[in-house]
Amino acid sequence: MTHRPAIRLRLAAALLLAACALRLQGWLPATARAGVPVQPCRVAKELPHDPNAFTQGLVFADGLLYESVGGYGVSELRAVEVATGRILRRRRLPPSLFAEGLTLVNDLLVQLTWRGKTGFFYDRKRFAIRRTFVYDHQGWGAAWDGSLLHLSDGSAVIRRYDAQTFQERGRIEVRDRGRPVTRLNELEFVGQELWANVWQSSRIARIDPASGVVRGWLDCSELAQKTAPPHDRDAVLNGIAWDPATGRVFITGKRWPRIFVLAFP
C-alpha cells in the first residue's frame, strides 16, 4: 500500500536539497563551477627581493632577473642578481613616466609606461635605449611569444603587435567560463600558455593565447598573506618570469621582500 503523505514528504525533502545545492553552487567561484582547475602555488625556493621595489614587470635572461619598477619619480629598469637580490645595473626613467610591464624581444628588453603611452627598447647589456614606440592605450603588462608582442591595459583585452613595426595584429579577450577576466596586468609566456597577474588578486590566470580561454588558475593567496607588507593595499601579487632552460617560474609582488621559485608536480 502506498502512503501518499510519506511520498510528499520525501519529494519536499528532495526539492529542498536541490534548492540548497543550487544556492551553494551560486556562491562557488566560477572556476569551480566550470571545472577549470585551481592549483595552489607550491614553493621550491625563496629568494630575497628589494622590499621597496614596486614591481611591474619581471624577466629572466642571462642568469639574471630584469625588473621594471614603477612609481612617478622612482621608475627604473634593473638587472638583479638572482641568489642575492643585489641590483647590478639600473636605469632611471624621467619623473613624468610610470614604468610598467617588461618583456624580452630577442636581445632587447621592452618596457612599457602606464599613462605615458610610450615604450622603450633597451640593449639589455648596457640599458642603452635603441628605440621608442607609442601606443594609444594604457600600458600594463607585456609578453613576447617569439613573433608578436602581447600587451595588456587593465581590461580583459590583450592586444598583439608586430615587434618591428609596432602595428597591431589582432586582439583576444580573456574569458573564464565565458565571462571576461578584467584587470589583466603583468604577462609572461610559460611554455605554450600565457600567464597573467590579475590586479588586486592573488591568482594568476593560465590562458590559451589563441582563444583567450582560461585553462586554469594558480592560487597564491597563502604567499600573499604571509609575504605582503601588512596594511599596504598596493602590495599585491605582480611579477612573473620564466626560465625556459630549467622550467623555473619566479613570482613576486609589489614591495614584497621575497621572490618565490614555484615547484610543479
36-262 CATH fold: Neuraminidase (2.120.10)
pLDDT of residue 188 exceeding 60:
yes
Residue 261, CA distances (Å) to 47, 50, 83, 188, 241 in order? 8, 16, 11, 15, 10
Q: List C-alpha distances in Å: 176 to 5, 32, 34, 182.
A: 45, 11, 9, 10
**Going by DSSP bridges, is the β-strand pair 108-113/99-105 parallel, antiparallel, or unpaired?**
antiparallel
**Helix residue ranges per DSSP H, 123-264:** 221-227
**Rounded distance, CA 230 to CA 46, Å?**
19
Q: Residues 6 or more apart from 88 whose CB is under 8 A from it?
A: 64, 78, 79, 80, 81
More confident site: 228 or 15:
228
Q: Whole-model pTM?
A: 0.86
Q: Which residue has the higher pLDDT, 65 or 1?
A: 65
Contact residues for 182 (Cβ-Cβ < 8 A; gap 6+): 154, 155, 156, 198
Q: Examine the pLDDT at 178 and tell me if it is beyond 80.
A: yes
- Give the model confidence (pLDDT) of 201-256 as tens digits: 999 999 999 999 999 999 999 999 989 988 899 999 999 999 999 999 999 999 99
Q: Is residue 171 within 8 Å of 157, Cβ to Cβ? A: yes
Give the per-residue pLDDT at 265.
58
| Percent of the chain's residues with pLDDT above 90 | 83
pLDDT-derived band at 175 (thresholds 50, 70, 90) equals very high
Which three cell numbers, joined as nine digits, stand for 6? 510519506
Taking every pair of Cα atoms in the chain, the longest distance, rounded to a whole number of angstroms, is: 91
Residue 88 near residue 81, CB atoms below 8 Å: yes
Structure-model confidence comparison of residues 77 and 31, the more confident one? 77
Extents of the domains making up the chain: 1-31, 36-262
Q: CA 252, CA 184: separation in Å to the nearest integer?
A: 16
Looking at residue 36, its pLDDT comes to 87
According to DSSP, residue 137 is labeled: S
